Structure 1
Amino acid sequence: MRQNIVLILTTGIILTAVLAIVYAPIIALVIALMGMSVIALILVKGWWRRAYVGTLLAMAIGASHIDALSRLGDLAKAGAVGLLVLATFLTTRDQEASWQNLSHRVTLWMLWTVASLAGISLLWSEARATSVTQTAIFIAFVYVLHRVSTTRWQNTSVLAKDIGTAYWTSTSLLAVGGLLAAGGFPGAISEFSGRYQGIFTNPNLLGLIAAITLVLGIGWALHKRSPMIWVSLIIPASQVILSESRTSMIAAAVAIIWVTISGSVVRTIVAVFTALTVTVFIQAFRIDLWGESLDRFTAMEGGDLFNARTTGWEYVFTYVGENPLGVGWAATTDALAAFNAAGIGPGLSSIHNSYLQLIYELGWLGLVPALFVLALFIHVAFARNTLGIQTGLIATAIAGAIIHFAESTMFGVGQPYPYLFWFAIVAAIVSFDSPIRPTISAEDVAIQHGQP
């Protein structure tokens, strides 16, 4: 029955999209994404996992450069987070909570501390309405992480499948964006820079989401031992390259190298052999794999190699030196716009550094969580378990730690990145002492017996 429903929906979506492409490309895209959402929700097992997929899709739509999608996303994001919280409560309320280890407990309390500081900062926020909304969403976000990690993820098979679902959802979104760019869809390639951005607002956002998806996918492929998953990695890998995001390319490369050399000797030999084989193939057929992507590593955009980011970094310490409480949680964009308009800002729209943004928004108190999360990522990077999906979780911590030095995305809960990154980080910590093996979960058994 489920397969028949999917077949009917798929056929209808394709026919409708073909007609819409001729007359209204944006309508075609909306139909395609809505259709993908319906199919995903039918195929995904379990109500919590469906709510999680819905949240990732809503966040991606809300972070789109396409006005028709972003307006829809503004409403969808709030609804999706609410449904995720509700699904988390209903599916875990009868389960006994348990901390897996000390790192698990400390990490969650650190996130609750950040949420508390965010709430306190509402008293002096430069953009109170934005701060109130984003604080509420962040509290919901931490609640879900807390409850899921202390109940649902006690079953490591469920944990692995949740991460695998996140990988497939993100990969599907990247594939849609890649097809739009290849087909010349308006805005899929940035008019400003000529770089791929898919459905997202800018190429850097595409790059960092693709980088995290890629390293998560490597872990999922090792876990499932499926050739199809290895082949699917072409999608996020290509989007990292085509986005021309230097930060994302470096982060993905360093993460992959790290988990390769820290793994088994066999893994290292296989990786080296594969790299040499691909290199020989590229040279033999003279394939231009990188295009102009590597040219940006020497580009002096904004006057320096860091694209004027150092100006924003210096400004943070100047501002907090004069205003030790910061601008308020999630108020960076509004505050910079106001300060720039008044002629007292750095002339930038972003700090381009997640650690410094914590300090800019929470004042000197933000230094504590900024240093903690950096130490946390290093802690995960040196975890003992480097088998299967845990390889991808560790690689995610490494890639994210690097990304956060150049992008202000770590706690931006209005777009998909945190829902990939932090779920992976907490999953890594939960599974420190529990090697994850491919098994049939109790949830899957329940679903097979007709339970939701």
Structure 2
Amino acid sequence: MNRLAQCSIVAGAAGLVVVATLLAVDAPLVAIGLPLLLLLVALVRRMDGWRWLLGLATALLVCAASDLPTLVELSFYPRYAAVAGLVVWALFQPLRAPVRLASWTRILVGALWAIAGLATLSALWSVVPLETFQRGVALVLLAALVHVLLRRRWSERAVVLADLRTIYLVLSVSALVSLGYGLTNGVLPAALPGNQRFQGIYNNPNLLGIVCALAIPLGWAMYQQFRRPVLLLGTLPAGVCLLLSQSRTGIVAVLVGAAWVLLRRGFGPVTRTASAVAVTLLLAHLLNLLPIIFSAPWMQRIVLRFTDPGGTDLSNGRTEMWQATIDLWWQERPTLGFGYASRNHLIELAGYDGAFAAGISLVHNSYLQLLLELGLTAVVPLVALLLAVGRGALRVPVRGANSGLVWLVVSGVIVQLTESAIFGTGQPYPYVFWLAVAALLHQPTADQDGERSAAEGEPRDTTRLDQRVPAAPAVLSH
């Protein structure tokens, strides 16, 4: 282990002791969950120092999105420092093999850099320049992380998926700790009867729902890659938290993503899945389980959220916010927008500026929010990003781990239609989503022919040179 890895482990251990000690009084279960997270990560084979730092960075992003003030304060700046450390460390790691990027992977990287650069530059005309600059720099770190991983660290497919496994472990533990935390403070017993939505350690139920909506397909991808059933255990707390959060966005996104993968696999898998669901429902009906399940208060609450959201429209006012966002953007600043990350401050400015009378506090649509903040200048890189994501969802073969990654990417696209999370760099969602997109598009290879085959979605020839049948020797004329 090199000196940098040793220093990182020592610093991480010291930080864990401090955080666990401060949390032990107010949130003992969370304090126990942090060592549990490290214990689970330690059980993963071939855990190098960089992957330890990745787990720490993901945990800090989860803490920054928590409703526990102590966690938020302690992780606010360290989360960005951890991401910056990942970038620097990967940048100076020796190359294992030459990495060539396929065309769509280069488009993804270029579009991320364009969005990040434009977001940082928008501090010049932003209504909140300091906030815009700070959040823009964080977005630059995200783009840099994706770039250095693709160019330097992810030279082998096994390394790519082992890194994603670390992220999956952190998200799974956060869901498990959320359930335990809700049990100790009485929130979970209140959520089971359907009296209130469950948010765990996260700052709102929707955030818990969309994070779990990514953790479930990521867990399936890890199982497909490593073939260890124990990896599927992490999807159980994520699934429970998703249901208890009553997040319609998360539930629909997971179901649509799974249906997409099944349809891409062909008629056979669709038929088998439909048959299995039908048999399960029939058995549940014969055993009289369906009335018990659908009469449960928490299930009735979920059904009501899809049918009768308490006197409002099914979008819970989102359609009005979308229309207000479009009007405000188009009438006031259609070209440059109000500046990256300015959305949170528009409602505050409405108090003394008539131009902001629309009173937008939450956009609940990642694409409209980007137009509001960066204007028409962001259209080209945003379209390029969506085309790259669509390429992965449509053309990459859904075999092995790719089935889970395609599931995750499609679910993420659905989430972004009703949540403003695509570039919310203060929490784990954008890091998980964009790293999964990069992993899906990236097929590391050292030869031009292999790169072309991967880009076209064709299987590569992995036969070793010394195992190939030699051509018949030519007959020489004498």
Segment drifting more, 356-365 vs 71-80: 71-80
Counterpart of 2:130 in structure 1 is 129
Distance in 2 (CA, whole Å) between partners of 1:129 and 1:236 is: 36
CA RMSD of aligned residues (A): 3.0
Judged with a 3 Å threshold, the aligned counterparts in structure 2 of structure 1 residues 37 and 88 are, in CA distance, closer, same or farther, namely farther
Task: Give 1:276's aligned amino acid.
Answer: A
User: Greater Rg, structure 1 or structure 2?
Assistant: 2
1:35 aligns with 2:43: no
Shift of 1:318: 1.7
1:313 aligns with 2:314: no
Counterpart of 2:471 in structure 1 is none
Counterpart of 1:68 in structure 2 is 70
Matches of residues 31-430 of structure 1 in structure 2 within 5 Å?
A: 31-40=31-40, 42-44=42-44, 45-91=47-93, 93-94=94-95, 98-185=99-186, 194-263=196-265, 267-280=269-282, 282-283=284-285, 284=287, 285-286=289-290, 287-288=292-293, 290-300=299-309, 303-321=312-330, 322-324=332-334, 325-339=336-350, 344-430=356-442
Structure 1 spans left out of the alignment, 5+ residues:
1-8, 440-452
After TM superposition, the score normalised by the length of structure 2 is: 0.80
After TM superposition, the score normalised by the length of structure 1 is: 0.84
Distance in 1 (CA, whole Å) between partners of 2:228 and 2:202 is: 29
Segment drifting more, 178-187 vs 397-406: 178-187
Question: Over residues 146-191 of structure 1, what are the superposed CA-to-partner deviations in whole Å (9 max), with x where a residue is unaligned?
Answer: 011122222001111112222121111111112222344569978x
Shift of 1:281: 5.1
Q: How many pairs align?
A: 418
Judged with a 3 Å threshold, the aligned counterparts in structure 2 of structure 1 residues 388 and 307 are, in CA distance, closer, same or farther, namely same
Shift of 1:273: 4.3
Question: Over residues 111-163 of structure 1, what are the superposed CA-to-partner deviations in whole Å (9 max), with x where a residue is unaligned?
Answer: 01111211220101111111111111111111111011122222001111112
Question: Over residues 297-335 of structure 1, what are the superposed CA-to-partner deviations in whole Å (9 max), with x where a residue is unaligned?
Answer: 123458321111122211222222221211111121123
Distance in 2 (CA, whole Å) between partners of 1:396 and 1:124 is: 35
Identity %: 27
Distance in 2 (CA, whole Å) between partners of 1:42 and 1:220 is: 17
Segment drifting more, 281-290 vs 362-371: 281-290
Judged with a 3 Å threshold, the aligned counterparts in structure 2 of structure 1 residues 181 and 27 are, in CA distance, closer, same or farther, namely closer
Distance in 1 (CA, whole Å) between partners of 2:154 and 2:114 is: 22
Distance in 1 (CA, whole Å) between partners of 2:246 and 2:283 is: 23
Task: Give 1:275's aligned amino acid.
Answer: V
Task: Give 2:321's aligned amino acid.
Answer: G
Task: Give 1:312's aligned amino acid.
Answer: M
Conservation of the 8 A alpha-carbon contact between 1:328 and 1:362:
yes
Moved over 6 A (4+): 187-190, 434-437
Counterpart of 1:447 in structure 2 is none
1:362 is paired with a residue whose SS is helix
Shift of 1:216: 1.4
Judged with a 3 Å threshold, the aligned counterparts in structure 2 of structure 1 residues 268 and 312 are, in CA distance, closer, same or farther, namely same
Conservation of the 8 A alpha-carbon contact between 2:139 and 2:425:
yes
Distance in 2 (CA, whole Å) between partners of 1:53 and 1:222 is: 21
Conservation of the 8 A alpha-carbon contact between 1:332 and 1:350:
yes
Matches of residues 434-449 of structure 1 in structure 2 within 5 Å?
A: none
